[in-house]
């Protein structure tokens, strides 16, 4: 199959491309504009296993300006992961970037896909679309995002549904829940905690640290995402949660990091941030049924793998 992955140089996109290429029947075109707050060198590193792969091609272009006609010929499936992630940075002047990349970039790709015979258009959305909920959340819960980021990703979902209803673009929406593991973005909590721990510096915790998240290890997330392509179940038009094996509070995760490092962390509380829900918890029964999805990596195992990766990334720093 000829597959287009947007955001291919990103954390999740690079892992997804590698996984899709394990299937010798697949050819992957990765589009990425090297945009957003993550350093270029990190994105370059993310592409390490892909760049010389004979069935991978990188198109280094911005979704806002790319001439899609040059790149969509013969494409069977689109995974649309490019976007501006991150809740904390989505306020103020930077909101414009979120509107541009998450809304306008998505609309341009949907418009270009409208008349093409693609089999699936899989959109990476987020648990941030839900906002603050009590207990386990299923896909039919009312969405009420708490952050500008969540608003733009939910708008991307709405656009997908608009092009599905009007033009039959075969969309599938996946809502990811806090993904972690090797190559996790530097702005994300585990990456920041581990980096500080390695340097012996204090770990900064927002709020009281009792907020909990449904943490999804990267290989589980990628298998769930790829399953949207391979499943025999009819999933066009569906929205599906991709959650992890374990939930934990921020303080619990720091305790696990301390256990792995075999030393105590110094924690500094820096006050609550805007836009973060107190808890996230995915009901994954729909993914289990439609995608045969089953997350298997425990938090401790996943954190160990992320620590190993960050030790390599920051060696000598």
Q: In 3-state terms, the chain is what percent helix, strand and coil (to 5)?
A: 40, 20, 40
Task: Choose the catalytic residue: 98, 101, 149, 163.
Answer: 149
Smaller CB separation from ligand NAD, 33 or 145 = 33
Beta carbon of residue 268, minimum distance to ligand NAD (angstroms, whole number): 24
Q: Is 149 a catalytic residue?
A: yes
Smaller CB separation from ligand NAD, 264 or 274 = 274
Backbone angles phi, psi at 59, to 5 degrees: -115, 110
Smaller CB separation from ligand NAD, 38 or 166 = 38
The span from the CA of 133 to the CA of 281, in Å, is 9
Q: Is the C-alpha dihedral spanning 219, 225, 230, 231 positive or negative?
A: positive
Smaller CB separation from ligand NAD, 85 or 295 = 85
Query: Tokens 């959650």 map to which residue?
Result: 243
β-strands 203-205, 267-269 pairing: parallel
β-strands 212-217, 246-249 pairing: antiparallel
Beta carbon of residue 70, minimum distance to ligand NAD (angstroms, whole number): 15
Residue 130, CA distances (Å) to 15, 137, 145, 280, 317 in order: 25, 8, 5, 9, 38
Beta carbon of residue 34, minimum distance to ligand NAD (angstroms, whole number): 5
Which residues of this chain interact with ligand NAD, rule CB under 6 A?
7, 9-13, 32-36, 38, 43, 62-64, 81-85, 101, 105, 124, 126, 153, 176, 178-179, 185
The span from the CA of 134 to the CA of 118, in Å, is 38
Q: Among all residues, which ones are annotated catalytic? A: 149
């Amino acid at each position: 199959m000829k597959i287009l992955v947007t955001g291919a140089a990103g954390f999740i996109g690079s892992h997804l491309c590698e996984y899709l290429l394990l299937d010798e029947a697949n050819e992957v075109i990765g589009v990425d504009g090297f945009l957003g707050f993550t350093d270029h060198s990190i994105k370059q590193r993310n592409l390490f296993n892909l760049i010389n792969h004979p069935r991978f091609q990188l198109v280094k272009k911005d979704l806002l300006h790319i001439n899609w006609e040059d790149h969509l010929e013969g494409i069977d499936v689109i995974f649309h992961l490019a976007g501006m992630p991150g809740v904390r940075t989505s306020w103020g002047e930077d909101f414009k970037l979120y509107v541009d990349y998450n809304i306008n970039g998505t609309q341009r790709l949907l418009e270009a896909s409208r008349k093409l015979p693609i089999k699936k258009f899989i959109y990476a959305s987020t648990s941030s679309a839900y906002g603050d909920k009590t207990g386990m959340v299923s896909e039919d819960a009312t969405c009420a995002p708490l952050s500008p980021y969540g608003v733009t990703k939910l708008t991307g979902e709405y656009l997908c549904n608009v092009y599905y209803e009007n033009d039959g673009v075969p969309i599938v929406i996946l809502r990811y829940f806090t993904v972690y593991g090797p190559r996790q973005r530097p702005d994300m909590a585990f990456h920041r905690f581990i980096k500080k721990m390695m340097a012996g510096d204090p770990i900064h915790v927002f709020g009281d640290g009792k907020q909990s998240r449904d943490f999804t290890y990267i290989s589980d997330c990628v298998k769930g995402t790829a399953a949207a392509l391979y499943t025999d179940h009819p999933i066009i038009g569906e929205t599906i949660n991709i959650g992890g094996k374990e939930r934990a509070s921020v303080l619990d995760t720091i305790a696990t990091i301390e256990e792995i490092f075999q030393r105590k962390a110094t924690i500094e509380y820096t006050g609550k941030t805007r836009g973060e829900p107190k808890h996230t918890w995915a009901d994954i029964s729909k993914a289990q049924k439609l995608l045969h999805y089953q997350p298997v990596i425990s938090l401790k195992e996943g954190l160990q793998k992320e620590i190993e990766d960050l030790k390599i990334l920051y060696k000598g720093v």
